[in-house]
Amino acid sequence: MVKRCAAALGALLIAGTAVGCTQPAESSVAQRLRQDAEAIHALGISGVQARVIEPDGTHSVATSGTADLATSDPVPSDGYFRMASTAKTLVATVVLQLAGEGSLTLDDTVERWLPDVVRGNGNDGTRITLRQLLQHTSGIHDDLPGYATPGEYYRQRYDTYTPAQLIARAMAHAPDFAPGSNWQYSNTGYILLAEIIQRATGRPAHTEIENRIVTPLRLHGTRWLGDSPTLPQPHARAYQFFGPGSEVDVTDQIALEPENLSWVTTTEDENTFFRALLGGRLLPADRLAEMKRTVPVSGDLETMWPGGRYGLGLAERPLSCGGAYWSHEGGDGGYITLNGVTGDGARSAVVSMSEALGDTPEHILAQESAAATLIDHALCP
C-alpha cells in the first residue's frame, strides 16, 4: 500500500506517483491511479494530480504532465487549485446546518429572505423555495459573464461584479420553467443562497463556511481568496484550450462571484471534506438523508454524467462495480476537478486537472469521461 511518510523523511516520486518511504512497491490502487492520471494527460491535458484515500486512511497520490508549459516543472502533488462549483456543496451544507438549527427551513420562499429580489419577467420569489435553489429546480435562468475566446479572457479576467448585478442579469430573462417542474443547473440559485446565509446569520457565507466546515475539519489548504486573482503556492498553472494554436494561460482571474467561486483547495482537503460529509460529521443523519434525495438531471448534463442524479448540492453517480458514489465536480479558469466518495464516507478520490479542453463538445466529453473513469477505478478497487 502507498502511505504518507513523515514530513521529515519526504517522499520518493516514481513515474509521477508518490510512493511511501516504507513501501517498496506500488499497490494496485496506486498503479491504476498512475495509469489513469497518465491517460488523462495523454488527451492533451497539461497537468494532472490525483489522490485516493482508502478506508484505513492510506493515501495514494499520482501526478502527470507539467505544472508550467514554459518551464516543464513537475505538477505538485499537494498543489492548490480553484474549487469552483464544488464549493456549492459547502454552501448547501451550511444551509442544511442552519435548517437543522431552526434558523430557516428548506420550504421557506426566496421572498421570505430576499424581498423583491427575484421578480420581473415572470420570476417570482414567492413561488421558489430554498430546497429548489439547492436542487436546481427553481427555473431561474443563468446569465453569468464568461469568456469563449482568448480576447474575451484578457478583457474580462479582472472584472468584478456584485451579487446584485449578477442576480439582475438573471432577472432580465424569463424563467426556464415553472418552479419545481424541471431541472436545470443554475449558478444564480447559489448566489441567492449565499445572500440568504448572510441574511440569516448576519455574516458572509464564506465566514460561515470557514467557521462551520474549514476550521473544524482543519482544512489548512482550503482558503477563500475574495477578489484576489492569484493562487497561493504551490500550484500548477491553469490553461484553457480554445483550439489548435490557442492554448492560453488563464491562471490569473478574479472569481465572478466571490462568495461561491473564490475558494481554493487541495486534493487532500477535498477528500477530507467529502469523507466528513458522507461520514456524518457535518450533518445529522436526517439532514444528510435529505441532501441525498435526488432527482434526474437535464439531458445535456446526463450526457456528461450517465445515470447521474442531483440532490441538495450533491450529485449521485453510478459505479461500475455496483451502487453509486457522491460528488460535486467543479470547473473554472482552466481548473477542472472531479471527486467521489462512497456512501459511508470510507473511500474517496479527487482528480484535479490544470487544463480545460474547451474547443469542442467531443473534447469536453472526453476529458470528463477520462476523469470519471479515474474516480470509478479508485472507488471500485
- CB-CB neighbours of 18 under 10 Å: 23
Q: What is the mean pLDDT of residues 1-15?
A: 29
Closest by Cα among 303, 92, 48 to 190: 92
Q: For 301-331, what is each residue's pLDDT tens digit?
A: 999 999 999 999 999 999 999 999 999 999 9
Q: What is the pLDDT of residues 209-245, one digit of tens each?
A: 999 999 999 999 999 999 999 999 999 999 999 999 9
Mean pLDDT of 196-204: 98
Instruction: Quickly list H helices, the chain.
Output: 28-42, 87-100, 110-113, 130-135, 150-156, 163-171, 187-201, 205-209, 258-261, 267-278, 285-291, 299-304, 361-379
Q: In whole angstroms, give the CA distance from residue 309 to residue 378.
A: 20
Alpha-carbon gap, residue 178 to 313, rounded angstroms: 20
Distance from C-alpha of 69 to C-alpha of 249, rounded to nearest angstrom: 9
pLDDT of 164 higher than 70: yes
Calculate mean pLDDT across residues 355-360.
95
Q: Which of 73-87, 250-264, 278-292 has the lowest mean pLDDT?
A: 250-264
Q: Is residue 197 scored above 60 in pLDDT?
A: yes
The domain ranges of the chain are 7-379
pLDDT at residue 381, as a whole number:
84
Q: Report the chain's mean pLDDT, rounded to a whole number.
A: 93
Q: From CA 374, how far away is CA 139, in angstroms rounded?
A: 33
Residue with cell 434558523: 103
Which residues are 52's β-sheet partners?
Answer: 60, 349
Confidence band of 25 (pLDDT split at 50, 70, 90): low
> What percentage of the chain reaches a pLDDT higher than 90?
90
The x, y and z cell numbers of residue 269, run together, are 482537503
How far apart CA 98 and CA 106 sit, in angstroms, is 10
More confident call, 36 vs 12: 36
Does residue 348 surpass a pLDDT of 70? yes
* CA 55 – CA 286 distance, rounded (Å): 24
pLDDT at 2 over 50: no
Cα–Cα distance, 2 to 54 (Å, whole number): 10
User: What is the model's pLDDT at position 13?
Assistant: 29
**What pLDDT, on a 0 to 100 scale, did the predictor assign at position 372?**
98
Architecture of domain 7-379: 3-Layer(aba) Sandwich (3.40)
CB 96 within 8 A of CB 115: no
Q: What is the pTM of this model?
A: 0.92
